[in-house]
Amino acid sequence: MRYPTRRQTLLSGLAASASLFTRAAEAEGSKIPLTFLLVSDLYRIDADPLGRGGIARLASVVKAERARAAERHGALICVHAGDALSPSLFSSLDHGAHMIALLNEVGIDVFVPGNHEFDFGPAIYRQRMSEAHFSILAANLHEADGSPLPGHQDSLVLTIAGRTIAIIGATYDATRAVSRPGDLQFGPTASTIIEKASTARAQGADFVAAIIHADRKTGNDIMKSGAVDLVLSGHNHDLHIDFDGRTAFMESAQDANYVTSVDVDLAASGGGTLWWPNFRIADTREILPDPSMQAEVDALKADVAKGLAAALVRTETPLDSRTQIVRSQECAIGNLFADAIRQATGADIALLNGGGIRGNRLYDAGSLLTLGNIVEELPFENKTLVLPVSGLTLQLAIENGLSQAGHPSGRFPHLSGMHVLADPARPPGSRILEIHIGDTTLEPDQTYRLATNDYLAQGGDGYLMLAGAGTVSRDSGNRLISQDVADALKGFGQVAPKVEGRLVLRLS
Q: What span, in angstroms and rounded, lies between the C-alpha atoms of 11 and 183?
A: 29
Same domain? 189 vs 67: yes
Same domain? 431 vs 389: yes
Instruction: List CB contacts of 204: < 8 A, sequence separation 6 or more.
Output: 164
Same domain? 368 vs 235: no
- Which segments within 364-476 are labelled E, that is strand? 368-370, 384-390, 413-416, 418-422, 432-437, 440-441, 447-453
Cβ(417)–Cβ(348) below 8 Å: yes
What are the tens digits of pLDDT across the range 293-322?
999 999 998 888 888 888 899 999 999 999
Q: What span, in angstroms and rounded, lies between the C-alpha atoms of 190 and 220?
A: 9
Same domain? 488 vs 474: yes
> Which has the closest alpha carbon to 371: 304, 318, 455, 323?
304
> Which has the closest alpha carbon to 8: 83, 103, 96?
103
Same domain? 399 vs 288: no
pLDDT of residue 16: 43
Q: In what order do the strands lie in the sheet with 447-453?
A: 384-390, 447-453, 349-353, 413-416
Tell whether 359 is covered by a domain.
Answer: yes
Q: Which of 303, 328, 350 is the last residue of a domain?
A: 303
Same domain? 358 vs 216: no
Burial 351-370 (b: 16+ CB within 10 A, else e): bbbbbbbbbeeebeeebebb
pLDDT of residue 48: 87
Residues of the chain with pLDDT under 50: 1-28
Q: What span, in angstroms and rounded, lies between the C-alpha atoms of 420 and 395?
A: 10
Same domain? 233 vs 142: yes
pLDDT of residue 28: 46
Same domain? 187 vs 227: yes
DSSP 288: P
Cβ(144)–Cβ(183) below 8 Å: yes
Cβ(84)–Cβ(97) below 8 Å: no
What are the tens digits of pLDDT across the range 10-48?
344 444 444 444 444 444 456 889 999 999 999 989 998
Cβ(478)–Cβ(383) below 8 Å: yes
Tell whether 140 is covered by a domain.
Answer: yes
Same domain? 398 vs 465: yes
Tell whether 1 is covered by a domain.
Answer: no
Distances (CA, A) of 216 to 85, 238, 257, 390: 22, 10, 19, 29
Instruction: Read off the CATH number of the domain in which 193 is found.
Output: 3.60.21.10
Instruction: Read off the CATH number of the domain in which 444 is found.
Output: 3.90.780.10
What are the tens digits of pLDDT across the range 470-502?
776 666 766 889 989 998 998 888 999 999 999
Residue-range definition of the domain harbouring residue 457: 309-505
Q: Which of 303, 330, 354 is the last residue of a domain?
A: 303
Same domain? 325 vs 412: yes
Instruction: List CB contacts of 176: < 8 A, sequence separation 6 or more.
Output: 184, 186
Instruction: List CB contacts of 283: < 8 A, sequence separation 6 or more.
Output: 52, 257, 258
Q: What is the pTM of this model?
A: 0.78
Same domain? 344 vs 447: yes
Greatest alpha-carbon span in the chain: 87
Quote the number of domains for the chain: 2
